[in-house]
Structure 1
Amino acid sequence: MAASEPTTSSSASTAADDPATLDAPGDAHATAPTLDAAQHDRAQPSRFPFAGRIGSVEILAAVLVLLIFLRDPLARLLSAPSLATWTTVFVSVMVQAVPFLVFGVLLSAAIAVFVPRSFWARALPKHPALAVPVASAAGVILPGCECGAVPIAGSLIRRGVTPAAALAFLLAAPAINPIVLVATAVAFPNNPEMVLARAVASLIVAMVMGWLWLRLGRADWIRLPRRPDLDGLRRGEAFWSAVRHDVAHAGGFLVIGAMAAATINVVVPEQWLQTLADQPVLSVLALAGLAVLLSICSEADAFVAASLSQFSLTARLAFLVVGPMVDLKLISMQAGIFGRRFAARFAPATFTVAVAVAVITGMVLL
């Protein structure tokens, strides 16, 4: 039986070597050899002798060799004062923001995986207008900065929290948590009223923006990034999957924002500050805009504001209120978490409300 049934390979070989067999009518489809794409590629000699052999290790080795040969030009380039300042600002923003970003991502993943949806229905008032001030006040109990509040707010929306309440928490948490208020008191030892003014103004802005979203916001402006199916995984696997996903999104945009902040910090001349400080209205707008450009973490911005002694307390209050709510890295992170359409509308509105509330609060309390 075995001798009478030739194998497929031998029959294909015979058919390939015998032209008469290929030309025989009626048998062409049965005996014609067929090669799939992979077999065809193996049969053809590669034009590139190292194709398929270059991987990440080889690329890293080539980069290291290139750096060895270019070390002297690179050393001269990196020693330039402007580049040294850029590197210092970039590293400082990243060092300040990354720990709080990681904290926020971990908390966000914990909320997404371990907290049931029913919890938020019990914790927040059912009426959205009442949920906004409650969510704003909740920022007091979560010590984190704006980098951590963005992924947490995204996770709250996924868990069924009304977007207005989640956005109010996003704005309030970085500015009224105990760490920030204590840092503000240390930075302004002779002006304790700055602590109260910052807390009141930031809380008002968060609530106003939440209520504005209820009135004017649209659900299709928020485009949360696609998430893995956490319900189909075990809790531990789902938790780390959510952490990796949020770090990739928020962390990447944080790097872009830090690079932009460092670039603008180097480009803007220092002489402009003194000129603007002499104009009351322009000084407020200047420090508010400077807060957006510098992108300093809320735990450290009070010390920067205290050093700008040539500006009025109201102008420096605007710096402290705007910074944790609207800056370059925060805008870029909001675009990554909620979508560009959201960031293009939410950031300018928040900036306008924050400046107006800071000026009114400064006139009353300072």
Structure 2
Amino acid sequence: MLICAAASVPLRNLVLDHDRLATAATVFVAIFVQALPFLALGVVISGLVATFVTPAVLARRLPRRTGPAVLVAGVSGAALPGCECGSVPIARRLYGDGSNGAAALTFMLAAPAINPVVLVSTAVAFPGAPEMVGARFTASLLTALAMGAAWARWGRGRWVSRRLPMAFSDSDSRRTRFSEAARHDFLQAASYLVVGALAAAALHVLVPPWMFEHLAGQLALGILTMAVLAVLLSLCSEADAFVAASLTVLPLLPRLVFLVVGPAVDLKLIAMQAGMFGRAFAVRFAPATFAVAVCCATAVGWVFLGGAG
């Protein structure tokens, strides 16, 4: 803190003396400040979920038949706000044979993508395009349901090789469960938000405008680029809308693909899935999820956003 305080004046002067650096700093601060309230709200709610909604309770609520179980798990994701970092451990605890396995994976994809915090943040980030909220909800839910149904049909239990992670101990107080869950989610999500805001700021000043104009004119290339960018940036789903909204040169459709792919598959999720479920699971599930998310987002965006968006 002392080092930061001592360096504050020279750093401020450095920023003010360079136009491009000042622009990047403005973009970074704008994205971070806009996203932080939604991130804080999301981690508080995820802490409450970890405290009061146990995986055993969720498992008892699921129907035994695969189809209804997948549908219920997908829709229930809207009621359990939290970032994707928290959905992977919960899904692993819920995972079981038959319908429970497919439902757990459906919930893992749906919860961080269609919960109220994410939808409200999307509405705030795109005030001039309210249709983005409905498009994101629909495409993300379709992605989760499609992957749940695909796992029920083609998934193999032997691909899940990792043992069940340790949950909270019965001796832990509710305050301990809440504080630990909220602290973990906030530190994980905030760190990736900083990285994403830095990347967005860098894109504004380092990438020549003609490249964005080229992507805007090449819809297929723009969709693929934003999908890959979502995987690489690994943003929190409660804050990614502000990063996507800052890329105003691109049409809405590639930005919708960015918002649908990010919460479903990115570098941190692939690593977490490999650690929780096993490497054999991750190398199969992640590429399939990427393809399904891109297709669903493109199809839904074409309907909701009017073609090229």
Q: TM-score, normalised by structure 2?
A: 0.71
CA distance in 1, matches of 2:93, 2:112: 21
How far apart, CA to CA, are the structure 2 residues paired with 1:300 and 1:250? Answer: 13
Whole-angstrom CA distance in 2 between matches of 1:256 and 1:223: 28
SS at match of 1:284: helix
AA aligned opposite 1:135: A
Aligned partner of 1:275 in structure 2 is 214
CA contact (8 A) 2:196 2:243 kept: no
Q: CA deviation at 1:283?
A: 0.8
Say which is worse superposed, 280-289 or 217-226, in terms of deviation.
217-226
**Could you tell me which residue of structure 1 aligns to residue 6 of structure 2?**
71
Match of 1:35 in 2: none
The answer to which structure, 1 or 2, has the higher relative contact order (CA under 8 A, 6+ apart) is: 2
Unpaired segments ≥5 residues, structure 2 = 16-20
User: Which of 37, 43, 67 is the matching residue for 1:101?
Assistant: 43
Give the AA of the match of 1:132. Answer: V
Quick one: distance in 2 between partners of 1:253 and 1:241? 18
Q: Show the counterpart of 1:287.
A: 226
1:226 maps to 2:226: no
296-305 vs 270-279, greater mean Cα deviation: 296-305
Once the two structures are TM-superposed, the CA of residue 245 in structure 1 deviates from its matched residue by: 4.8
Distance 1:120 1:256 in 2: 29
Partner SS state of residue 264, structure 2: coil
Shift of 1:178: 4.2
Q: Distance in 2 between matches of 1:343 and 1:102?
A: 29
For the 8 Å contact 2:41–2:117, the answer to whether it is kept is no
TM superposition outliers: structure 1 runs of 4+ over 6 Å: none
Q: C-alpha distance in 2, partners of 1:224/1:80?
A: 50
Match for residue 353 of structure 1 among 292, 304, 307: 292
Q: 1:295 Cα deviation (Å)?
A: 5.0
Residues 83-94 of structure 1: matches in 2 within 5 Å?
84=25, 88=29, 92=33
Query: What is the alpha-carbon distance in structure 2 between the residues aligned to residue 110 and residue 183 of structure 1?
Result: 25
Structure 1 residues 221 and 240, CA gap change in structure 2 (3 angstroms): farther
* Contact 1:295/1:323 (8 A) holds in 2: yes
Alignment match of 1:166 (pick from 95, 100, 104)? 104
Give the share of equivalent positions with the same residue, in percent: 40
Gaps in structure 1 of 5+ consecutive residues: 1-62
- Residue pairs, 1:1-366, within 5 angstroms: 67=3, 71=6, 75-77=9-11, 80-81=14-15, 84=25, 88=29, 92=33, 96-112=38-54, 117=56, 119-142=57-80, 144-145=81-82, 147=83, 149-152=84-87, 154-155=89-90, 157-158=92-93, 162-181=100-119, 184=122, 193-214=131-152, 215-216=154-155, 218=157, 220-228=160-168, 230-231=169-170, 233=171, 237-243=172-178, 245-247=180-182, 249-254=184-189, 256-268=191-203, 269-271=206-208, 272-294=211-233, 297-299=236-238, 301-302=240-241, 304-306=243-245, 308-327=247-266, 334=272, 338=276, 341=279, 346-365=285-304, 366=306
- Following the alignment from structure 2 to structure 1, what is the Cα–Cα distance between the partners of residues 242 and 49? 27
* Cα distance per residue 1:210-246 (max 9 Å; x no partner): 2233332546355554345x24x2xxx3434444554
Q: 1:259 offset after TM fit, Å?
A: 4.9
Structure 1 residue 133: deviation in Å? 1.4
2:285 and 2:177 mapped to 1: Cα distance? 25
Contact 1:227 1:242 in 2 (8 A): no
One-letter code of the match for 1:99?
L
Aligned in 2, Cα 1:186/1:101: closer, same or farther, shift over 3 Å?
Answer: closer
Letter in 1 for 2:43: L
Q: Structure 1 residue 79: deviation in Å?
A: 5.7
Match of 1:43 in 2: none
Contact 2:87 2:111 in 1 (8 A): no
Distance, in Å, in 2 between the alignment partners of 1:135 and 1:196 is 19
- Between 1:191-200 and 1:337-346, the stretch displaced more is 337-346
Deviation at 1:134, TM superposition (A): 1.0
Question: Once structures 1 and 2 are overlaid, which stretch shifts more, 277-286 or 294-303?
Answer: 294-303
Shift of 1:125: 0.9
Q: Give 1:137 deviation, angstroms.
A: 0.9
Q: Does the C-alpha gap of structure 1 residues 227 and 134 become closer, same or farther in structure 2, counting only changes over 3 Å?
A: closer
How far residue 136 of structure 1 moved from its aligned partner, in angstroms, is: 0.4
The Cα RMSD (Å) is: 4.0
Contact 2:139 2:297 in 1 (8 A): yes
Q: CA 1:273/1:225 → structure 2, altered by over 3 Å: closer, same or farther?
A: farther
| Higher mean C-alpha deviation, range 257-266 or range 197-206 | 257-266
Letter in 1 for 2:10: R
| Secondary structure at the counterpart of residue 323 of structure 1 | helix
Deviation at 1:305, TM superposition (A): 4.1
